[in-house]
Amino acid sequence: MQVFRGTSCAFETTFKDVDGDALIPADASAYPQIQIKDPAGDIITTGVGNHLGNGDYRFSWFCPEDGTINAHDVPWRVEWFFVTITGHSKSSEQTFDVVDKVEADPRERQQTYLARTGGSARIMIRHPRRIDQIALTVKYGTGGAVIKFVEGIAQNDTEASITNPNRKIQESVVDGTYVYYYDTVPLTQGEYLIFWDYQETLVSPRDTYVQMLRVVPDIFWHYAMDLRMLVDRLQKHVGTVQAYSDADLYSYLLSGLDTINFYAPTTNWTLTDIPLTGSHGVRTALLYASTIHALIAQQILETEIKFTHTGQTVTLTVDHDYSGVLAAIKAQLDEYGKAKVQIFIQAEGSAFSGVRPKSYRVLRTVFRVDKAFGPGFMPPGGAALLQNIGL
């Protein structure tokens, strides 16, 4: 058993005779007695177990923040001592390890949640202590309409069931911290703002924690694969600080899309507007533009963690510089900028204009192309008319 420093835990044991009947204590207010000892054998806590019925007892304990972290072969101990109504005694012992709080799941380092179109998402927050009051508000877009409001923590299976449309927030203790989470319904493509309003105790100030959930089109996963192959040849795992999460890649892709739209003539292309084949280089330009944003973020990180160690005989330097790669990619994008006018013209196709043929006679009669000129003669539509006259 592991107990995390600065958290509460409970120890349980059973006192029964050989026939399986519960033993009766000589004094229910004094037995079973409990001693919690640290690895050095010093008594840290004493107390009396609470009777749960049928000979089962429990003792709750709060491990101090500065509790000694023990070695595996020198554990902490819980010693139980029981005296029956007949004067017989019985004792038992349990061992456990005191460990420090584990860091949050590396996936929680990402700045946004990511979900596929039509999929659901688990939104969550982690807190070092139990929260007394908590509420969740989900809005569509940047400050749009409220699509979900949930208040309170689930107290039973019905309030926590995924099939219950009025389910509440769930609470769980994971790695020494309290996790509060909620599973959404299937979502449509777009961005969602998530507000967690919580109050740790009745006398604590009310705080708000804001998150963002992005529901992405399926085409993103194609770009995510190609972008990761370009910027992450080491295939860094999500557990490393330098790794790229899918949410990071989507953010870089959106920035790259803005970049290629910015080149003159300005456009408003979306991910779904750019074909995977026959895009005249726009797809590759999007990958290059997204890579620039990814490498700039990586360069900032490398600047923060670079170091130089100079010893008596050895000098060690860790410094990753992406300036050469960024310059090469910029040169490629400059070529794209020169060609975008031609790409834009080809992408737009033939123009269409609503016109009326005009007679330059004295009466200057104007004929509508959607009306018949006379019995039995119907002029062609606008597109066919332009084609017939060579436009």
Q: Quick one: pLDDT at residue 144? A: 78
Does residue 367 form part of some domain?
A: no
Distances (CA, A) of 69 to 33, 129, 377: 25, 20, 97
| Short-list 73, 75, 96, CA closest to 13 | 96
What pTM was estimated for this model as a whole? Answer: 0.63
Give the domain CATH number at 32.
2.60.40.1930
Residue 382, in any domain of the structure: no
Specify the CATH number for the domain of residue 122: 2.60.40.10
Judgement on whether residues 231 and 343 belong to the same structural domain of the protein: yes
List pLDDT tens digits, range 314-368: 888 877 888 889 999 999 999 999 999 988 887 776 555 555 555 555 555 555 5
- The pLDDT value recorded for residue 358 is 56
The C-alpha atoms of residue 37 and residue 78 are separated, in whole angstroms, by: 7
Which residue(s) pair with 331 in the sheet? Answer: none
Give the domain-ending residue among 67, 99, 131.
99
Is the same domain home to 89 and 158? no
* Domain span including residue 188: 106-216
Beta carbons of 25 and 9 less than 8 angstroms apart: no
Last residue of a domain, one of 216, 238, 262: 216
Greater model confidence, 99 or 192:
192
DSSP reduced 3-state for 300: helix
Q: What is d(CA 336, CA 338) in angstroms, rounded to the nearest whole number?
A: 5
Average pLDDT over the chain reads 84
| Tokens describing residue 67 | 């509790």
391 within some domain: no
Q: State how far the Cα of 110 lies from the Cα of 12, in Å rounded to an integer.
A: 39
Q: Is residue 267 part of a domain?
A: yes
Q: What is the pLDDT of residues 370-390, one digit of tens each?
A: 555 555 555 555 555 555 555
The reply to whether 317 and 227 lie within a common domain is yes
Structural domain count of the chain: 3
Residues 143 and 224 reside in one and the same domain = no
- Domain co-membership, 226 together with 322: yes
- pLDDT value of position 263: 93
Residues 270-293: what's their mean pLDDT?
92
- Are 162 and 259 part of one and the same domain? no
The residues near 334 (Cβ < 8 Å, ≥ 6 apart) are none
Residues 6+ apart with CB under 8 A from 311: none
Residue 347's pLDDT is what? 75
> Are 245 and 343 part of one and the same domain?
yes
Q: Calculate mean pLDDT across residues 292-300.
A: 91
- Judgement on whether residues 206 and 225 belong to the same structural domain of the protein: no
Together in a domain, 326 and 259: yes
Q: In terms of domains, do 178 and 240 share one?
A: no
Q: Residue 378 domain-assigned?
A: no
| 78-122 per-position pLDDT tens digit | 999 999 988 888 988 999 988 876 555 545 555 688 999 999 999
Residues 76 and 165 placed together within one structural domain of the fold: no
- pLDDT computed for residue 334 by the predictor: 92
pLDDT for 226 equals 93
pLDDT tens, position by position, 157-181: 899 998 899 999 999 877 667 889 9
Q: How far apart are CA 259 and CA 269, in angstroms?
A: 11
Highest mean pLDDT among 66-75, 132-141, 351-360: 132-141
What 3-state class would DSSP assign to 247?
A: helix
**Residue 217 — pLDDT band, cuts 50, 70, 90?**
very high
154 with 245, same domain?
A: no
pLDDT at 81: 93
Last residue of a domain, one of 176, 201, 216: 216
